[in-house]
Amino acid sequence: MNPITMTAFKGPIVEETVQLTLLELCQACRAEEAHVLTWVFEGVLEPVGESPQHWRFGGNSLRRARMALRLSRDLEINPPGVALALDLLDEIAMLRARLQRR
């Protein structure tokens, strides 16, 4: 086995195997807890669990939370606007994918 094989870094695929706590999600996208709470209440992020301490975010929350953060920071969009933008972007992505299938 060559030495490069020995030193390659391995890591889990976040979307498939990782669940994030509120704290981990904030740390991973450098968002403030208050922002993440707002996005949950706007339905941008949908954790499972009763209360913020018990919330678990699916791996795809990482991408959504980072987009939400960038959109609100770069374009100064308020949380309902971020929620709308993300829904529309999802829809555009779905339509683009459907075009691709033809």
Partner 1 sequence: MKFKDYYETLGVPRAATQDEIKRAYRKLARKYHPDVSKLADAESRFKELGEAYAVLKDPEKRTAYDQMGSEWKPGQDFQPPPGWDAGFEFSGGEFSGGGSGADHSDFFEALFGRQGGQRPHRPEQGQRQGQDHHAKVLIDLADAYQGAQRSISLRMPMLDAQGRVTTQDRKLDVSIPKGIRAGQHLRLSGQGGPGLGGGAAGDLYLEIAFNPDPLFRVDGRDVFLDLPLAPWEAALGTEVTAPTPAGPVQLTIPPGSAANRQLRLKARGIPGAPPGDLYVVLSIALPPADSDAARVAYQAMALAFDFNPRIHLNG
Q: Which of 41, 54, 75, 78 binds partner 1 (CB under 8 A)?
A: 75
Half-sphere exposure of 75 (CA within 13 A, CB side): 11
Q: Which is nearer to partner 1, 51 or 72 (CB)?
A: 72
DSSP sequence for 30-83: T--HHHHHHHHHTTSS--BSSSGGG-BEETTHHHHHHHHHHHHHHS---HHHHH
Q: Which of 56, 58, 71, 81 binds partner 1 (CB under 8 A)?
A: 71
Write out the residues near partner 1 by the rule CB under 8 A: 4-5, 7-16, 18, 27-30, 59, 62-63, 66-67, 70-71, 73-76, 85, 89, 96-97, 100-102
